Amino acid sequence: MKPRRVEDRQDHYYWKAKKEGYRSRAAFKLKQMNRKFGLIKKNYWVLDLGASPGGWSQVAVELGARVVAVDLSPMKEMEGVHFIQGDITSGDTWRKIREIRDSFDAVICDASPKITGNWDLDHFRSVEITEAAFRIAKTFLKPGGNFVVKMFQGEETPRLFSEFKKFFVFRKLHSPPASRKRSSEIYFIGKGFGGKFRPKRDLD
């Protein structure tokens, strides 16, 4: 992990991640959210979407979970993690996930689009990723399972929250302290998947 930008060289969590052996500063966002909301517990099966370089997978393994990680980009091997290189919108990727496991205690996603600097374009690309992660969560989450996904704040945020919250007993939008102060990212946190709103499982 090398500082690529001035903000990295000045960033507390970047250097903290480097010192403590995490693959990305994003690890601290999941650690903070897990302490606050109890998303991942020992012996959970966790599906980590947009996982590379692996900061969130590292945290999940530390918490005692077994992880299936998915990303378009390659990821270095990690003990306790089965990595699938693929597109989360692809039926082939879904089949590869099912070959390992067809249900998970938690689905987590910290994926981001490539940032263009165009606020509206970046927001809508983020929405596409967020919705793709939610389709996977609806299909692979166990009843009572937990879901956390990043989105960029914008005009679609209220619609996404309104859509997602129907499927969870506990639902919240949250920004952990480790998020960069200038970032527009926010996380949807859902706990207790199903309840009286238990959906039909997507097939593909």
Cβ-in-10-Å burial (0-12, 13-18, 19+) of 86 comes to middle
Which residues does residue 49 pair with via DSSP β-bridges, in sequence order? 70, 109
Active site residues: 150
Rg of the chain (C-alpha set) = 16
Give the type of residue at 35: R
Which residues does residue 149 pair with via DSSP β-bridges, in sequence order? 109, 188
State the Cα angle at 93 between 136 and 130, rounded to 5°.
35
Are 118 and 151 a contacting pair, CB within 8 Å?
no
Q: Is the peptide bond before 177 cis (omega within 30 degrees of 0)?
A: no
- Whole-angstrom distance, CA of residue 140 vs CA of residue 30: 20
